[in-house]
Structure 1
């Protein structure tokens, strides 16, 4: 089994990313560790957030020219068994994140990897900020954009019924 993607994006979030790329150019995410804006994916112009040596690249979303998704090393250790899905919902985004003026906010949803997926991931060492600086890139096998009605979306992104 090939290692699964550690990061996915919903079609709604991909659409907002395309709009933001048109305004700001290349983008990046850093999964916040819970400080000022809680634990949310923060969207920045690429390079505006300094990636640390121990940060981990979860993947590059296939949106526009690609959107890298980073997470801190310690937070990765807690979340390494979880597939991260970046979604968007109405509301006020984090003060530092580019979507804040749009009346939308990015949020993270997740799904625990299966035992088989975890075994496959153990064979694929994550790329750290230090690795990336040395030119190491993760294997590219395409990031899946998921949308409502897809089995993956329904399993990962259950929305409250009300």
Structure 2
């Protein structure tokens, strides 16, 4: 059976870093806000320390980790598949990977017509749809 269509995934290096961060901090979540292109930095927080709201869109649970995006940002990126990667450099001071000397980074590609049809048949929930 083929993998289900998703909007976001992690590269192997990003999954390895994610595992280390979960060991150190417990369950985490991601939120993507701002940025209009490849290279935008998703923010990684301990789960429950960043409050999502009605203006946020849940893109999925890659690696069992909730990945949220602001609704305004989602309007720009709704036709893209996002890949979370990790690169050397200084991350944001608020994102958990900042002390590691690396940062998470978004790479994107357009969704195929078939992927988009599957995803748009099931609109993602907003922060208003889920308990906080």
Q: TM-score, normalised by structure 2?
A: 0.90
Check whether the contact 1:2–1:120 (CA below 8 A) recurs between aligned residues: no
Q: Count how many residue pairs are aligned between Structure 1 and Structure 2.
A: 128
Q: 4+ runs of 1 displaced by more than 2 Å?
A: none
Residue 46 (str. 1) matches residue 47 (str. 2): yes
CA-based RMSD of the aligned residues comes to 1.9
Gaps of 5+ in 1: 135-162
CA–CA distance in structure 2, aligned partners of residues 94 and 43 of structure 1: 9
Of 107, 110, 121, 2:108 maps to 110
Cα deviation 1:66-108 (Å, max 9, x = unaligned): 2110000111111010011110011111111000000010000
Distance 1:39 1:32, change over 3 A: farther
- 1:99 partnered with 2:111: no
- Tell me, in whole angstroms, the C-alpha distance in 2 between the residues paired with 1:126 and 1:31: 15
Q: Is the CA contact (8 Å cut-off) linking 1:3 and 1:120 kept in structure 2? A: no
Q: Which of 1 and 2 has greater Rg?
A: 1
Q: In 2, distance between residues paired with 1:7 and 1:130?
A: 21
- Partners of 1:58 and 1:92 in 2: CA distance: 25
